[in-house]
Amino acid sequence: MLTGAQYLESLNDGRVNYISGHSVDDIEREPLLREAANWVARVYDHFYSPDPDAVNPMVQPPRSADELREHVPLMGQVDFITSTTYQSIMTLLTAAAQVNRSYPELGRRIYEYVDDAKRRDIRIVECITDGKGNRKLPPSKQPDPDAYTRIVERRDDGIVVRGAKLHITGACLAHELFVMPTKNMKPGEEEYALACAIPVNSPGVKMVSTTYAPREEDDRHFPFTRHEQMPDTFVILDDVFVPNERIFLDGQVEFSALFAHSLGLWERTGGVALMAIEADTLVGLAQLIAEANGLERQEHIKEKVSELVIYATLIRAGLEAAITHSRATEDGFVFPDELYTNAAKYHGAHQYNEMVRNLHDIAGGAVLTAPTIADIENEEIGPLLLKYMQGSATVTAEERIRLFHAIRDLTADGFGGWHLVTNVQSGGGLYAQRIVTRKHYDMENAKALARRAAGLEAEVTA
Amino acid sequence: MLTGAQYLESLNDGRVNYISGHSVDDIEREPLLREAANWVARVYDHFYSPDPDAVNPMVQPPRSADELREHVPLMGQVDFITSTTYQSIMTLLTAAAQVNRSYPELGRRIYEYVDDAKRRDIRIVECITDGKGNRKLPPSKQPDPDAYTRIVERRDDGIVVRGAKLHITGACLAHELFVMPTKNMKPGEEEYALACAIPVNSPGVKMVSTTYAPREEDDRHFPFTRHEQMPDTFVILDDVFVPNERIFLDGQVEFSALFAHSLGLWERTGGVALMAIEADTLVGLAQLIAEANGLERQEHIKEKVSELVIYATLIRAGLEAAITHSRATEDGFVFPDELYTNAAKYHGAHQYNEMVRNLHDIAGGAVLTAPTIADIENEEIGPLLLKYMQGSATVTAEERIRLFHAIRDLTADGFGGWHLVTNVQSGGGLYAQRIVTRKHYDMENAKALARRAAGLEAEVTA
Amino acid sequence: MLTGAQYLESLNDGRVNYISGHSVDDIEREPLLREAANWVARVYDHFYSPDPDAVNPMVQPPRSADELREHVPLMGQVDFITSTTYQSIMTLLTAAAQVNRSYPELGRRIYEYVDDAKRRDIRIVECITDGKGNRKLPPSKQPDPDAYTRIVERRDDGIVVRGAKLHITGACLAHELFVMPTKNMKPGEEEYALACAIPVNSPGVKMVSTTYAPREEDDRHFPFTRHEQMPDTFVILDDVFVPNERIFLDGQVEFSALFAHSLGLWERTGGVALMAIEADTLVGLAQLIAEANGLERQEHIKEKVSELVIYATLIRAGLEAAITHSRATEDGFVFPDELYTNAAKYHGAHQYNEMVRNLHDIAGGAVLTAPTIADIENEEIGPLLLKYMQGSATVTAEERIRLFHAIRDLTADGFGGWHLVTNVQSGGGLYAQRIVTRKHYDMENAKALARRAAGLEAEVTA
Amino acid sequence: MLTGAQYLESLNDGRVNYISGHSVDDIEREPLLREAANWVARVYDHFYSPDPDAVNPMVQPPRSADELREHVPLMGQVDFITSTTYQSIMTLLTAAAQVNRSYPELGRRIYEYVDDAKRRDIRIVECITDGKGNRKLPPSKQPDPDAYTRIVERRDDGIVVRGAKLHITGACLAHELFVMPTKNMKPGEEEYALACAIPVNSPGVKMVSTTYAPREEDDRHFPFTRHEQMPDTFVILDDVFVPNERIFLDGQVEFSALFAHSLGLWERTGGVALMAIEADTLVGLAQLIAEANGLERQEHIKEKVSELVIYATLIRAGLEAAITHSRATEDGFVFPDELYTNAAKYHGAHQYNEMVRNLHDIAGGAVLTAPTIADIENEEIGPLLLKYMQGSATVTAEERIRLFHAIRDLTADGFGGWHLVTNVQSGGGLYAQRIVTRKHYDMENAKALARRAAGLEAEVTA
């Protein structure tokens, strides 16, 4: 396993990174990426074991509902790309079980790749979303054939890949890209039916990142994101060579949706687990700031806290129900029930903006206007600011200010905006999330109940 | 155990029933009560066993999470007063365990009463809500001291009780009233700290009922409520004598809230179980009528069905999470986790009206204007009505009409209105439900998460 | 003009009415239709003038924004079919102005019909919605060609019409049916491009009605609907002959959507005016019952009343804005702005169920369980019921009971259900209402604002 | 009148400004304040007239509904502190009319101050919100008596003031502070019943600002806030001397709430006018990005656009209804109806977060991950980024990127967060806004309607 320091060192591998229009030579000296890398490094250190056979427990999949229940909190707590590494490995294993039957060679490659990735303790990100071009047209009819990532050349020893993958959180800090089709491909679209693993430092890979990282030199009024932040990367595959051993799908259109679908199983679990923690955090912030303001006994404040409580509880209920009704893949890997995770995730995303409104309504305008740490350290104005920011006697002015900072940082600044968007977009937008939930629902049972209520079934007795 | 016929016979016990301004001599001949009694009788027959030692399985409480999971569907399916009998017995046992320590005599009475009630296979309703008079004043300050049910006289052999209990669903068809205080009483309000069991045919008990039962002589276009209906009873206790053996609380104000609180544990389970079934039924009706209309593939119809699906799934998730995290009373009776049941119940009630709107939006105006069964049986107009009510070829016109009837009966007529009101009122209104949910939430954990996000705790690492 | 008595007499004209499976010989003796007819008669009396040249002021269209502002309250207050008579006449006049240019003969017929209808002081209903059969297919492809109303025979002196018109509120109590296409017809569908006026007593017209009229013999606990109720009629046109003078559209497919579209202009005004009054009524009921319960100062009650207030105010704001920005037809008839009326109507319908929930949450369970007037008149139980229904000292128990009756009658019983459904269905369902609102919105202005914010326009200054 | 250049020069007046912990010597060289000052300067130039008697038309109050209708768009378009100058002057004039009767000396001072302020063409901000300390205690009971701004010393020539005023948008860029009590003061709280005008460069005034201004050196991907931004200022009054001529209230507790209340009249108008424009901008962004993505014909996209349209239309309806029903102060200044403005403002704030969710749901993840202008100008990666950001052929990749920037800038970054919070907080939080709306509603009319529906009034006829 790697230590945090070894991880940071591994980033100096020639990868081509851009941010804000300039190229990044040394991630540890780039203020907009450095802290994200440090977060990943801290998680490396957290799991590190010097045992040469040790493997990160995150990538050891649960094999029973009880193991799953223990595993879930972990998923909600590690950095983003440690999560995606787990999801990638689970996705590959799930897909391998099916691909293997028809194409044993592809299956073998996947299993070997997974073993190697675990051993090397690398970080992997999932690359799904393509540029997509004109959304009204399928991949093969696009004015620019590269709008969807595709194979532009086949050689004996591998393929050459061209395209772009968007919204790849953390790609610039990972080791490998797990590339898969963004949608089901049809016969005639074989060049787009492509899954493979690509090291980020492969020639032709160019990464352009954006980030909600605070830009302030003194970022102490960003108590959360100064330590936990992650850029999003626009990954360009500009004629990248991929050797055969790393190709997991190459024109088998019948399996083109398999990888993205399998990924869904594993992605949602972590997503809902994280959402449940975040929802509890919103409740806690609401209650703490109400107390700091001295308003925690006001009826309308309590009502809004209650709404936050119910929101958080329903998300967790979905997670718990999903674990209780977990299922196993053919290989015995246990995953949560899809209906419950989807419904919980949808509810969490759908109601989130309203819950943020409740939090802001409880907290007050100082969410925006609380002075910075530097302000309160200033000798001339600091004591006056603390004097006038003193609320309820039970909380110091500084603690109150820091709570306002946290609320702004988490919900009313760059990261807050990132959260608003990713909440609805992860999982493909609310529309897609509704479709998926409907798909997993037992509609026949519901129809039978309805027919009974309508007297269209024989038995009407209790 | 009693058969259905024996139950019906047992109703001729001299009870004083009124409905629509007239007294009811014979329930089996009263059109507004008859069908409700028949429903209860059918459930008696369903559970009947000739074994002299047999006891209704409904009143055998679960002793593990697994038993609870099996028990739950039962709770959602029996008639209303069989449910309240179960709840009454569980409440009495739960309360007895606590009362017994301080007042062994009261404890003994409760245990003996429960044994006797099981043996006699009677039906019991819970009487909580008082008239309450001027809500701004406590019981002891009311202009009319009887606004809350109270002891007006103490004798050697018992007490005389005066007051009214409102909204007692099914009381007119039960055998006994389980009377308990509607709220916590304080020292000085001993006369109001009263719990007891009163046979409905006791002198002084007067019952006035209302009902959503269809009034039409030919009620075939009420496919649900013509078979499953239950009146609500206004129970007047006009100086009713209660012998000592049936008194469970008599002035012990410290236990005055115990009974209503214990009841909550058991009432919610059945409530949420029923709500989950009803939500699935709404989904089924929405899907079936969309299909009958030939509109099930329209995008906006599918979206609304999805919303119904997510609604139903979140209620069930709450129920499932509550069972998974069930707890046990001191006596080993297992009950669902209160946080999850409350959150699920609140969500079910809070969103219900919107879900009904979705159903009506999907179904169309024929919910109201579909002709009756008598209309379609009429020789002159019947064939024409069927001709013009034919929608999608996959469903007959008559089936389509019956689906419209079911939607109207369940959501847009007397019972629909009853449902709208009881959804928000059972559990004491949405406000009370929010309070209860907040009470059971782990706020300290949420605050710790929030403090961590605000950097107010030492550890900030993952 | 007709008096109420003359109107009632005019109903004995041989019309074929059915309800609940039986035919109706004499409306004044049919309990399910009688009160609706009496309501119409009261409105006749209200407007009656013995002047032989007098015309109902309702059918005198406004010619300025100020006249419109005075006209609007009228629209919200008369009985349903007096409203539809006004709407029908306005629709005919609006359509005539356009039809006249291409087909002066059709124009002449319309103008003469309108003059005649005003003079005879008749009541007209609009017949739009067809049976529609399989919704996935157009009229001309239906398995049953009569699924949309059509011309089955042409004669020298007129046409023979076959089909059904559904959800025609009050048709059984009107004098004439104003028949028009339910949707735009295309070339090849000439037989369906039909508009005409048909007396309800024409041979072949068969009407089957449903109604939310209270079925109780003693209906005093239905304070609203016992006086103001209106049946919905399923109108069957079973080969009905229509003479040429009464045919307004006969195969001119290019005008097939004109009538329904013109109707929209006039229908919405009355709809929103009525909605605004109903919303204020909900507010008033909420406040009165809160006061009667003695809970009007509770914070959470005030919050819910506030939400109702804001709901009612936004509907009225839409109506007011629509009047301020009213427009005129070519003939100088002033109608409210369509964008504002549609947005207000949508909001009123979309939020209605939630507002009903608020009202029920405020009122309490006695909405359902308040005793009837007959109960409180009963000598034995009446005094006891009044004793225990006494709430706040400022309101008598009987008044409080009557308020509960009103809430149940308006929102939680047959009429309440009718209201839930018609709210979303009138105007074609919420989906159709959204489309219409979007159509009338000034999207180009919004796009220009957005382009400016994005810096895509030259000027960025204030 | 002042030109923009003269305004910028006027800021060098010795004022004490802090931001991010450091003091600001020269606003034009402070990156976090400079652009805000430039915005104000542009508005100065826009209105500038060399006529020596000229006065800014913004501060010429409307005297009829028609003038008001013309005035409103102006209010929604100028910079923030030009708006507050107008509001301050209107507030002072409205208050003067009432104060004048009891205290002619105070009235005289206000009128003279207003004349002087207009002549000097200065910018004024309203200072209301105090530190407030422990919210459970009134001003006179606070542990720190300065928690509410107060008079600490009286001299012959004036008073000395101590306290803090929070959330004062733009104070650091204005000329004068219009200080008024944050709430009604009671007898015994005379030292807190204080209104006055204080130049920002008075000794003892210390201002600490926060801002959502983009921190990036290259801020071209913030198309809106790079040009239109405004800091919020924490104003500390550290024993500031105020001469008598500038004191408008000095202990007259009976008028302590008058200023803040009068302010409400004028503040809301501008607030709702701006909100209506912003809502239309959201609609425009939604439609433009849907078109750029090529998804504008998708049903679920159209539905979400429709919801935005209805939201924007209801806000505007409220504004229009408020203008139509405008009223006049005693002095003949016309202001919009308070019920309609409040209801519109509440709706705009209450639904805003949900509308932002719709916009994000429509737009997609590139709201966050669209590359910057610098990225697309980079020679190596720019062409590739444009290649893969090309969506619908009707919009260039760069325009599409700029639309994503605008959506992020306005709704998902620092300013977006500022907007979320100020939406609910301006006007005192949603709770306070509900109270105000209820206060202005005609409850007696609503109750009369309800009583009529309940049959509690004589007339039941139409």
Q: Determine which of B75, B314, B345 to mutate to test the interface with A (most A C-beta atoms within 10 Å).
A: B314
Average predicted confidence (pLDDT) for chain C: 94
The reply to whether residue B365 touches residue C21, judged by beta carbons under 8 angstroms, is: no
List all residues 6 or more positions away from A229 whose beta carbon is below 8 Å from its beta carbon: A35, A36, A39, A211, A212, A213, A214, A415
Nearest to C314 among D318, D453, D456 (CB): D318
pLDDT at C460 over 50: no
Cα dihedral: B111, B113, B115, B119 (round 10): 180
Name the nearest CA neighbour of D234 among D338, D344, D131, D148.
Answer: D131
- Chain A, chain B: beta-carbon pairs less than 8 Å apart: 226
The pLDDT confidence band at residue C173, using thresholds 50, 70 and 90, is very high
- Ranges A101-110, C136-145, D328-337: which has the least confidence: D328-337
Name the nearest CA neighbour of C147 among B364, B367, B376, B384.
Answer: B384
- Class of B4-54+123-253 per CATH? mainly beta
pLDDT at B459 over 60: no
- Class of A4-54+123-251 per CATH? mainly beta
Mode of pairing for the β-strands spanning B205-210 and B232-243: antiparallel
With contacts defined as CB-CB under 8 Å, which chain B residues touch A228? Answer: 462
Determine the pLDDT at residue A159: 98
Nearest to A340 among B283, B313, B456 (CB): B313
Average predicted confidence (pLDDT) for chain B: 94
The pLDDT confidence band at residue A461, using thresholds 50, 70 and 90, is very low
List all residues 6 or more positions away from B77 whose beta carbon is below 8 Å from its beta carbon: A462, B277
pLDDT at A459 over 60: no
Determine the pLDDT at residue D167: 96
* Among chain D residues, CA nearest to B304: D300
**Residue B299 C-alpha, separation from nearest chain D C-alpha, in angstroms:** 7
With contacts defined as CB-CB under 8 Å, which chain A residues touch C300? Answer: 299, 303
Note the Cα C299 to chain centre separation in Å.
37
Domain with CATH 1.20.140.10 in chain C: 259-447
Rounded average pLDDT over C437-450 = 93
Helix or strand run (H / E) with residue A262: helix A258-293
Determine the pLDDT at residue D79: 95
Determine the pLDDT at residue C18: 98
User: Subunits that touch chain D (at least 3 Cβ pairs < 8 angstroms)?
Assistant: A, B, C
With contacts defined as CB-CB under 8 Å, which chain D residues touch A381? Answer: 18, 206, 208, 236
The per-residue pLDDT for range C204-241, each reduced to its tens digit, is 999 999 999 999 999 999 999 999 999 999 999 999 99
Domain with CATH 2.40.110.10 in chain D: 4-54+123-253
The per-residue pLDDT for range C80-101, each reduced to its tens digit, is 999 999 999 999 998 998 999 9
Nearest to B134 among C294, C416, C424 (CB): C294
* Among chain C residues, CA nearest to B428: C364
ipTM of the complex: 0.96
Q: Determine which of A7, A83, A277, A283 to mutate to test the interface with B (most B C-beta atoms within 10 Å).
A: A283
Rounded average pLDDT over B368-385 = 97
The per-residue pLDDT for range B249-266, each reduced to its tens digit, is 999 999 999 999 889 878
With contacts defined as CB-CB under 8 Å, which chain C residues touch A300? Answer: 299, 303
For B402-405, the CB contacts below 8 A with 24+ separation are: B402/A454, B402/A455, B402/A456, B402/B223, B403/A450, B403/A454, B403/A456, B403/B285, B403/B288, B403/B289, B403/B292, B404/B289, B404/B363, B404/B366, B404/B367, B404/B370, B405/A454, B405/B221, B405/B222, B405/B223, B405/B370
pLDDT at B77 over 80: no
Rounded average pLDDT over C293-299 = 94
The per-residue pLDDT for range C151-163, each reduced to its tens digit, is 999 999 999 999 9
Rounded average pLDDT over A429-435 = 89
The reply to whether residue A384 touches residue D417, judged by beta carbons under 8 angstroms, is: no
**Residue C247 C-alpha, separation from nearest chain B C-alpha, in angstroms:** 23
With contacts defined as CB-CB under 8 Å, which chain C residues touch B293? Answer: 135
pLDDT at C427 over 90: no
The pLDDT confidence band at residue C266, using thresholds 50, 70 and 90, is confident
With contacts defined as CB-CB under 8 Å, which chain D residues touch B361? Answer: none
Rounded average pLDDT over C248-258 = 96
The per-residue pLDDT for range B128-163, each reduced to its tens digit, is 999 999 999 999 999 999 999 999 999 999 999 999
Task: Give the integer Cα–Cα distance in Å for C74 and C60.
Answer: 12
With contacts defined as CB-CB under 8 Å, which chain D residues touch A379? Answer: none
Determine the pLDDT at residue D459: 47
In chain C, the percentage of residues whose pLDDT exceeds 90 is 88
Extract the residue ranges of chain D whose pLDDT is less than 70.
Answer: 458-462
The reply to whether residue B21 touches residue C377, judged by beta carbons under 8 angstroms, is: yes
The pLDDT confidence band at residue B458, using thresholds 50, 70 and 90, is low
In chain A, the percentage of residues whose pLDDT exceeds 90 is 87
Determine the pLDDT at residue B266: 83
Buried b (16+ CB within 10 A) or exposed e, B147-174: bbbbbbeeeeebbbbbbbbbbbbbbbbb
Per DSSP, the residues of D320-363 read HHHHHT-EE-TT--EE--HHHHHHHHHHHHHHHHHHHHHHHHHH
pLDDT at C176 over 90: yes
Nearest to B310 among A343, A445, A446 (CB): A343
Mode of pairing for the β-strands spanning C194-199 and C176-179: antiparallel
**Residue C297 C-alpha, separation from nearest chain B C-alpha, in angstroms:** 9
Nearest to C365 among B167, B218, B392 (CB): B167
* Among chain A residues, CA nearest to B461: A42
| Maximum Cα–Cα distance across chain A | 84
pLDDT at A62 over 60: yes
Name the nearest CA neighbour of D340 among C312, C394, A175.
Answer: C312
Q: Considering the domain C259-447 in this protein, what is its CATH number?
A: 1.20.140.10
Determine the pLDDT at residue C62: 87
D257 SS3 class: coil
Domain with CATH 2.40.110.10 in chain A: 4-54+123-251
The reply to whether residue D210 touches residue A22, judged by beta carbons under 8 angstroms, is: no
Helix or strand run (H / E) with residue C328: strand C327-328
Prediction pTM value: 0.95
Task: Give the integer Cα–Cα distance in Å for C16 and D254.
Answer: 73
What are the beta bridge partners of residue D236?
A: D164, D206
Phi-psi category of residue B30: left, alpha or beta, with phi > 0 → left and psi -120 to 50 → alpha: beta
Determine the pLDDT at residue A462: 34
pLDDT at B51 over 80: yes
Q: Where are the alpha helices (DSSP H) in B123-257?
A: none
Determine the pLDDT at residue A71: 86
How is residue B378 written in tokens?
């009429």
What are the beta bridge partners of residue D159?
A: D154, D242
Determine the pLDDT at residue A460: 37
pLDDT at C461 over 70: no
pLDDT at B179 over 90: yes
The per-residue pLDDT for range A218-239, each reduced to its tens digit, is 999 999 999 999 999 999 999 9
* Among chain C residues, CA nearest to D305: C438
The pLDDT confidence band at residue B389, using thresholds 50, 70 and 90, is very high
Q: Determine which of A301, A441, A452, A459 to mutate to test the interface with B (most B C-beta atoms within 10 Å).
A: A441
The pLDDT confidence band at residue A6, using thresholds 50, 70 and 90, is very high
Placement of tokens 């890997």 in the chain: A333
With contacts defined as CB-CB under 8 Å, which chain D residues touch A413? Answer: 212, 413-414, 417
pLDDT at B61 over 90: no
Q: Determine which of C297, C298, C300, C354 to mutate to test the interface with A (most A C-beta atoms within 10 Å).
A: C300
D169 in a labelled binding site: yes
The pLDDT confidence band at residue C300, using thresholds 50, 70 and 90, is very high
* Among chain C residues, CA nearest to B404: C421
Specify whether the CB–CB gap between A272 and A340 falls below 8 A: no
pLDDT at A185 over 70: yes
A14 SS3 class: coil
Higher pLDDT, residue C73 or D354: D354
- Ranges B384-393, C66-75, C280-289, D176-185: which has the least confidence: C66-75
